[in-house]
A and B are shown apart, each in its own frame.
Chain A
Amino acid sequence: MSQAADAHHGHLNSAGEHGPHHPASYYVKIWALLLVLLVISIAGPMLGNKVLTLITAFGIAVVKALIVAAFFMHLNVEKKFVWYMLFAMLLAVVMFFLGTAADVMKYDGSHWTKPSSYLYTEEFKKAFSGGEEHEGHGSDEFDSKALPNVPYGETESHKAHGSHETEGHGLPAAEPRHGT
């Protein structure tokens, strides 16, 4: 047996046998189904319903991804080991999300605040709404130059207080986001 022929055993599936041999038309049908789902995901937002848009956009994205993974990547006949490994990686991503979301997805807490977040939101709003600083800009117009580029820790309020650590006192005088 040649090396190439032996290596061809790579096509053996998890059961140690050759995987299901579908005709080419089988894959064309799956592709057609994916295109139908693509059309639905594009048409979804046209109905103007936000919840429906989320479902048609992200729900269908998950379905499309699963179809590609199962039938094109042949995960439907792959060994369980691969599933476990991929799910472990997805779990790592979820842990990353949970670990950082508690901080990133909050503007303030009992003894801390993120003034640059307020500034960012406020300035961004001005860039779009065409405030006093940007006369002549319609609400639909976008002025990228009006957008701030202020990293955390370098806002005016930070400079005034000299430190990002507020320790429960001397909180930067930033407007709450709800009021902006």
Chain B
Amino acid sequence: MAMVQPIATRRSATGIPTGKLAMWWLLGSEITIFGGLLMSYIMMRIMYAPWAEAAAHTNTLAGSINTFVLLTSSLFAVLAHHAAEQKNGKLAAFYLWLTIGGALTFLVVKGIEWTNEIRHGFTITANTFWSFYYTAAGLHGLHVIAGATAMAIVSFDCLRGKNLQRVELVGIYWHFVDIVWIFLFPLLYIAK
């Protein structure tokens, strides 16, 4: 078989593999998106005392369970990366599916939580706090869905031992989703 030179596997300027470099740039842009959202929340939360009263109605138990779920799924994601480094594609796929399980659990808990809140009249149009709440948690939820989808695609390659380097990339993305929640959790559920 002739030697195949991958296209732009590495960037000469940074020495970072192209895929990983792209992932870091993606996360860089995500920092400004979520950072702006969180900074807006902090400003409004400090400015308007009633936001604290509205925040008192969020479900701390649901938030805590979801934090635990995401932290645990992050562990599975890094274990998937660990398995991929050892070129064990099947084990990597297994851990990726456990991570996806965490994502689904997160979404189910979120669904139950939101249903309960909406039933009590806390809808997205109730006031600006709840508008923010659903926007921030909803945007984060979309990232959870995107991460789970990407991991599912990568996992099928893993089963065939292909493109194992992508496990690290989806893992980095997933850890970022976890970090965003780590900041959303105290803002929305703890600081009351």
List the interface of chain A (C-beta within 8 A of B): 1-4, 6-12, 14, 16, 18-19, 21-22, 24, 27-28, 30-31, 34-35, 38, 41-42, 44-45, 53-54, 57-58, 60-61, 64-65, 68-69, 71-73, 79, 81-82, 85-86, 88-90, 92-93, 96-97, 100-101, 104-105, 117, 120-121, 124-125, 127-128, 142-145, 147-149
Contact = CB atoms under 8 A, between A and B. Distances in A.
Contacts of B149: none
A1 B6 CA distance: 10
Given A9-B9, A68-B74, A124-B50, A79 B43 contact: no
Interface string B175-192: 110110011011000111
A57 B14 CA distance: 36
A65 B185 CA distance: 12
Contacts of A149: 125, 127
- Most chain B Cβ neighbours within 10 Å, of A22, A28, A90, A147: A147
A28 B72 CA distance: 9
A91 B122 CA distance: 34
Interface in B1-54: 1, 3-6, 9-10, 14-17, 19-20, 24-25, 27-29, 31-32, 35-36, 39, 42-44, 46-50, 53-54
Interface of B is mostly: helix
Interface of A is mostly: helix
B45 to A, nearest CB: 11
Contact of A144 (B49, B78, B121): B121
Contacts of B171: 72-73
B186 A58 contact: yes
Contact of A4 (B49, B120, B163): B163
- Name the interface size band of chain B: 35 or more
B77 interface: yes
B92 interface: no
B39 A9 contact: no
Interface stretch (B63-71, B107-115, B133-141): B63-71
B27 A86 contact: yes
Given A7-B165, A11-B168, A38-B67, 5 more contacts: A9-B165, A105-B43, A127-B50, A144-B123, A145-B121
B191 A58 contact: yes
Nearest to A38: B67
